[in-house]
């Protein structure tokens, strides 16, 4: 019989087509599941990156990166001879000489945790910035902020003075990280460079 078995061939082709479609659907389903898992992982990764960048932005806002006042650095961080005793001492900050009344600005966002007078430093301030950073300002003519007040980077917080044990108008400025003094010059990235070295 010429051309015989056409029905069987058509039936086999149809069954093969159905099997192919079933396999294709199974593969598509597997691909969709894989894509869903991949999308979930990417969403988690994106969330982690977003959280990391937000934390870095907050850390940058807390880093004391601006010059606190205009003037020139009269005494650097580190060992020096005391101007009062003539003995060696560790200078825990920098002294920026400037005329009395020169504005002192917050080098980073923060909260005033001390505003008052201290022996040796006269009118003084402490700002807490977060991420372990604190800054200290001594010999101020007048403090312009109060304890508990929130301040923004660049805001005037005090005026340069000559209070406490001081040989002339200047700002004694300290940067503390986890309550340990660090050289403030290592943190200042302000390109305007208000104080001359």
Rounded to two decimals, the pTM is 0.75
- The chain-wide mean pLDDT, for the chain, equals 89
All residues at 6 or more sequence positions from 65 whose CB lies less than 8 Å from its CB, including other chains: 107, 108, 187, 188, 189, 190
- Asked if 52 contacts 59 with a C-beta cutoff of 8 angstroms, the reply is no
pLDDT value of position 178: 97
How far apart are the C-alpha atoms of 180 and 185, rounded to whole Å? 15
Over residues 59-86, the mean pLDDT reads 92
Q: Which CATH superfamily is domain 71-196 in?
A: Glucose Permease (Domain IIA) (2.70.70.10)
Q: Is the pLDDT of residue 191 over 60?
A: no
Share of the chain above pLDDT 70, in %: 88
Q: Is the pLDDT of residue 3 over 70?
A: no
> Domain limits of the chain?
1-62, 71-196
Q: What is the per-residue pLDDT across 85-104, written as a single tens digit (0 to 9) for each?
A: 889 999 999 999 999 999 99
Q: What is the per-residue pLDDT across 107-156, written as a single tens digit (0 to 9) for each?
A: 999 999 999 999 999 999 999 999 999 999 999 999 999 999 999 999 99
The model's confidence at residue 72, banded by pLDDT at 50, 70 and 90, is very high
């Amino acid at each position: 019989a010429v051309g015989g078995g056409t029905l069987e061939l058509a039936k086999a082709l149809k069954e093969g087509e159905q099997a192919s479609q079933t396999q294709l659907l199974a593969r598509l389903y597997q691909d969709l599941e894989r894509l869903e898992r991949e999308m979930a992982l990417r969403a988690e990764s994106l969330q982690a990156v977003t959280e990391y960048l937000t934390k870095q932005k907050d850390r940058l806002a807390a880093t004391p990166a601006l010059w606190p006042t205009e003037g020139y650095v009269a005494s650097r961080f580190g060992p020096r001879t005391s101007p009062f005793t003539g003995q060696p001492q560790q200078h825990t900050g920098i002294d920026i000489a400037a005329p009395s009344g020169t504005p002192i600005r917050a080098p980073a966002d923060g909260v005033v945790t001390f505003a008052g007078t201290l022996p040796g430093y006269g009118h003084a301030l402490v700002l807490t910035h977060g991420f372990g950073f604190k800054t200290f300002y001594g010999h101020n003519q007048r403090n312009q902020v109060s304890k508990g007040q929130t301040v923004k980077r660049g805001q005037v917080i005090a005026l340069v003075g000559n209070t406490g044990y001081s040989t002339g108008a200047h700002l004694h400025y300290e940067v503390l990280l986890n309550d340990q003094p660090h050289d403030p010059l290592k943190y200042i990235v302000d390109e305007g460079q208000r104080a001359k070295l």
